Structure formats: structure tokens, C-alpha cells
């Protein structure tokens, strides 16, 4: 049984042996896995690492700034931030099918990443935050054993044309081990113990067609929900919690008039493995506060609902 410090030392020497004096590229998403890889590689090879952070316009509130703050400002990691909101939203225009949206977001990510990679000279390696469960899942997908596989760009999304060798220092680790590494490497606790966030981001939390107006509303609603979960001490008692944008108009009364505005659904679950999940039994007072804040603070939302569906049969995400 190895301690996090020993695993880090071991991986640092393995990475140094593998890459020598060559350059490594990493797609940094702000999620736990790629963040831990960034911190680990920075420690191992310093400026031989360049991270690319793609803002696809479907991230949570202030996410891009937080990533830059943590990695570029505090740790001195070389991070290229690409503002690709217009590109992603443009490609998604008119598309309402969830799996098609996932493909568009995944492919656009690869295009953007590829373009950035081509600008950096002398890159021979691509680092990825692949962890052991990803390895298992993609093996199952290849042999057709997996029951339902949603398109992922975590494993196997490497552009063929890049011909880069892979650096995957977390390949043998489970999530809880990766988190311990993150803490040991000095990453902020809140980043390391943050709920998982899907690759397609808010793209699959806006039902149907994605629009900037919807994403902006959803970002605000989600931020309020998460903030109040933290305030009430419930964030770490749930495994995943988020807001969903429902593109239906529901009536609200404002003064003497009736106004038809959007609906926000709140989702919070408790789960061990994300294969099954129970809806979180949040206190009514907490739900009331979140609902009041969302309706009062966000223009365009007239109604908030709480999702009381368990998985199975309902999935955690709404799409
Ligand atoms: P579901 O909705 O299938 O989600 O119950 C189980 C877990 O997987 C996440 N999820 C995704 N993650 N790309 C990802 O990287 C995706 O397309 C995707 N779809 C779902 C979901 O957030 C939950 O943690």
C-alpha cells in the first residue's frame, strides 16, 4: 500500500524518464483528473508542460477564471486559455438531439485542441487524465460489453494526425486515490472534492437546442444552487448536484399581469458509483431558499422544480 507522496515520487521519475527533455501538451478541463495531472506534471517537468484550457461557453459560472487563477497565477503553470464560446454555440445551433450535441461538442473540442497544439513547437507527448475506471469502460466499449455508452472524449479521442505519445500518470488509480494525490500536490480542497461535471457541460443540461441566453440563465441558477448547498453544509453530502434548463414557458404573476417564463429543475443525488443513485433528500428550507433566490434574482425564470427521480430508471443527467 503506497502513500500519495510515494505515488507522486514514483510517477515524477517515470514521467521524467518517459519524456526526457521533450514537451508535453495537456487538455486542462478544470475537473479533478486533468487538474491532478497538470499539478503532477508541472512538478515533474515544469515548463516542458503546456496546458490548453478550452472555454466552450458551456462551463459553470467563473470556471475559466478559477482554472487560470489556480494554475497560471498561483502555480505558474503555462496555460493557454482558448475562448471558443462562439465557435461551440455556432456549431450547436439548430441541434436538439442529445447524442448529436455530445458529438458536436466532442469533435469541436478536438478541432480546437488540434489547432492550438499545431501552434506549439516541438511537442511529442500528450498527457491525459485517464484513470483506471476510464480504462475499464473503454475496454468494455470496444468489446461491446458495455450496456449503454455515452460518447466520451476522455479516452481514444486523440486526433490521429497528431501522432503524439501518451502520458497517463493516473491510469492505474481510482478516483479517491487521485483526490488524495491532488491534496498532496497542494491543489485547493474545493477543486479536488468538487462534484463531477460532464465533458459536454451545460450542453446536456439545457434540454434540446443550446442557446447563449439559456446557458447564461442556467449558469446563474446553478451557481445559486451550489452556493446554497455549501452554505447549508449539504454540498459534500451529495455526490452530484446541478440545475437543468427546461425550454418551456410557465406562467407567473407579476403585478396585475401574467408573465410566461422559463423553468429550472434542480437535481441532487447520492451515489457511490454513479451507476445507481438516489435523489438527495434535501431539507425543504434549503429548497425554498434556492427557489426564491433563483426566481427573484434571475430574470426570465418563473418556476423551479426539484427532481425526485432515482436511477434507474432515470439517469443522473436529464439528457
Ligand atoms: P448518467 O446521466 O448516465 O450519468 O446517469 C452518470 C455520470 O456520468 C456523467 N455523464 C457524462 N460525463 N460525458 C461525461 O464526461 C458525458 O457525455 C456524460 N453524460 C453523463 C454524469 O454527469 C454522471 O456523473
Domains and CATH numbers, the chain: 4-192 (3.40.50.620), 205-306 (3.30.300.10)
pLDDT digits (tens, 9 = 90+) for 233-242: 999 999 999 9
The mean predicted confidence, pLDDT, of the chain is 92
Q: Counting atoms of ligand 1 from 1, which one is nearest the CA of 277?
A: 5
Mean pLDDT within 274-287 = 97
Q: What is the pLDDT of residue 154?
A: 43
Strands 23-27 and 278-279: unpaired
Q: What is the pLDDT of residue 16?
A: 98
% residues pLDDT > 90 (the chain): 85
The residue length of the chain stands at 319
Q: For residue 14, give the H/E element and its range.
A: helix 4-19
Q: Which of 90-94, 147-151, 225-229 has the lowest mean pLDDT?
A: 147-151
Q: What is the pLDDT of residue 160?
A: 52
Sign of the CA dihedral running 52, 54, 59, 65: positive
Q: What is the pLDDT of residue 161?
A: 53
Q: What is the pLDDT of residue 118?
A: 87
Band of the pLDDT at 33, cuts 50, 70, 90?
Answer: very high
Beta-strand runs (E) in 90-167? 123-127, 165-167
Q: What is the pLDDT of residue 148?
A: 35
Q: How far is the CA of 199 from the centre of ligand 1 (A)?
A: 8
CB distance 225 to 241 below 8 Å: yes
ipTM of this predicted complex?
A: 0.99
Q: For atom 14 of ligand 1, which residue has the closest CA?
A: 198
Ligand 1 near 271 CB (within 6 A): no
CB distance 97 to 259 below 8 Å: no
Ligand 1 near 196 CB (within 6 A): yes
Q: Model-level pTM?
A: 0.91
Ligand 1 near 274 CB (within 6 A): yes
Band of the pLDDT at 164, cuts 50, 70, 90?
Answer: confident
Examine the pLDDT at 147 and tell me if it is beyond 50. no
Ligand 1 near 106 CB (within 6 A): no
Q: What is the pLDDT of residue 143?
A: 62
% residues pLDDT > 70 (the chain): 93
Mean pLDDT within 26-38 = 95
Q: How far is the CA of 47 from the centre of ligand 1 (A)?
A: 33
Q: What is the pLDDT of residue 144?
A: 52
Ligand 1 near 179 CB (within 6 A): no
Examine the pLDDT at 150 and tell me if it is beyond 50. no
CB distance 303 to 252 below 8 Å: yes
Known binding residues are 29-35
Q: For atom 22 of ligand 1, which residue has the closest CA?
A: 198
Band of the pLDDT at 159, cuts 50, 70, 90?
Answer: low
Q: Counting atoms of ligand 1 from 1, which one is nearest the CA of 240?
A: 24
CA distance 198 to 105: 11
Mean pLDDT within 70-97 = 97
Ligand 1 near 240 CB (within 6 A): yes
Mean pLDDT within 194-213 = 97
Examine the pLDDT at 294 and tell me if it is beyond 60. yes
Q: What is the pLDDT of residue 1?
A: 79
Q: Counting atoms of ligand 1 from 1, which one is nearest the CA of 152?
A: 13
Ligand 1 near 269 CB (within 6 A): no
Band of the pLDDT at 151, cuts 50, 70, 90?
Answer: very low
Amino acid at each position: 500500500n503506497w502513500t500519495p507522496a510515494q505515488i507522486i515520487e514514483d510517477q515524477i521519475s517515470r514521467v521524467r524518464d518517459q519524456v526526457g527533455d521533450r514537451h508535453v501538451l495537456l487538455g486542462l478541463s478544470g475537473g479533478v483528473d486533468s487538474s491532478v495531472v497538470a499539478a503532477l506534471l508541472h512538478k515533474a517537468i515544469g515548463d516542458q508542460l503546456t496546458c490548453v484550457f478550452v472555454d466552450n461557453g458551456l462551463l459553470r459560472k467563473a470556471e475559466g477564471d478559477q482554472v487560470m487563477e489556480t494554475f497560471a497565477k498561483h502555480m505558474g503553470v503555462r496555460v493557454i486559455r482558448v475562448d471558443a464560446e462562439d465557435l461551440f454555440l455556432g456549431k450547436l445551433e439548430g441541434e436538439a438531439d442529445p447524442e448529436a450535441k455530445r458529438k458536436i461538442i466532442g469533435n469541436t473540442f478536438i478541432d480546437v485542441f488540434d489547432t492550438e497544439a499545431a501552434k506549439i513547437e516541438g511537442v511529442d507527448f500528450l498527457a491525459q487524465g485517464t484513470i483506471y475506471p476510464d480504462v475499464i469502460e473503454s475496454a468494455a466499449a470496444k468489446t461491446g460489453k458495455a450496456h449503454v455508452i455515452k460518447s466520451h472524449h476522455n479516452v481514444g479521442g486523440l486526433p490521429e494526425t497528431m501522432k503524439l505519445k501518451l502520458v497517463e500518470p493516473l491510469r492505474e488509480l481510482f478516483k479517491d486515490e487521485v483526490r488524495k494525490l491532488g491534496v498532496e500536490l497542494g491543489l485547493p480542497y474545493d477543486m479536488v472534492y468538487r462534484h463531477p461535471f460532464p465533458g459536454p457541460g451545460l450542453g446536456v443540461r439545457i434540454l434540446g437546442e443550446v442557446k447563449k441566453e439559456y446557458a447564461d440563465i442556467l449558469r446563474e441558477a446553478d451557481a445559486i444552487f451550489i452556493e446554497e448547498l455549501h452554505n447549508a453544509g449539504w454540498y459534500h453530502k451529495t455526490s452530484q448536484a446541478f440545475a437543468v434548463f427546461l425550454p418551456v414557458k410557465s406562467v407567473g404573476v407579476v403585478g396585475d399581469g401574467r408573465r410566461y417564463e422559463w423553468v429550472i429543475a434542480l437535481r441532487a443525488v447520492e451515489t457511490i458509483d454513479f451507476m445507481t443513485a438516489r435523489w438527495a433528500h434535501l431539507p425543504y428550507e434549503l429548497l425554498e431558499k434556492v427557489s426564491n433566490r433563483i426566481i427573484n434574482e434571475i430574470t426570465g425564470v418563473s418556476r423551479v422544480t426539484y427532481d425526485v427521480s432515482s436511477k434507474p430508471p432515470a439517469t443522473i443527467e436529464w439528457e
